[in-house]
Amino acid sequence: MKSKILLVDDNDDTLKLFSRALEDAGFEVLASSQSIGTTNRAKDFDPDLILLDVMMPALPGNKMVKLLQEKLPRQVTIILLSNKEEDELKKLCQECGADDYLSKMSGPAALVRKVREHLPMRASAR
């Protein structure tokens, strides 16, 4: 069974690029450009890992982390994505309780590596 990834980013080019990289790496991906409704999408899709853009309109990714942690029926790994400076992104990650972070500038190969780092820890929890 493929591991499931929920990718939330308001940039269509980023969604396409990262979705394709993750699918090519063997993951099942649900991509969304809307932050509103993410909790319901996560409940329905039941992802193993969620990738959240920090700079989302309406509800930023770092604010969404706590909401997801409270509303989802099981613990899910959450990784923040952003073009912010690494120090700022690391601080946001720590403040909101996300599991990890990655600069979008790192590219799709780094994203796939980061996802693979986290999924083995969750494989037995499913």
CATH for 80: 3.40.50.2300
Q: Which residues contact 112 (CB under 8 A, 6 or more apart)?
A: 21, 22, 25
Is a pLDDT exceeding 70 seen at residue 124? no
Look at the chain and report how many structural domains it folds into. 1
**45 lies in which domain range?**
4-123
Instruction: Indicate the pLDDT class of residue 56, thresholds 50, 70 and 90.
Output: confident
Report the pLDDT value the prediction gives residue 59, as an integer from 0 to 100.
Answer: 79
* Tokens 């720590």 belong to residue: 94
The pLDDT tens digits for 68-96 are: 999 998 899 999 999 888 899 899 999 99
pTM: 0.91
Residues 123 and 27: their CA atoms lie apart, in Å, by 13
The pLDDT tens digits for 3-47 are: 999 999 999 999 999 999 999 999 999 999 998 899 999 999 999
Alpha-helical regions (H) of the chain: 12-24, 38-45, 61-71, 86-96, 108-123
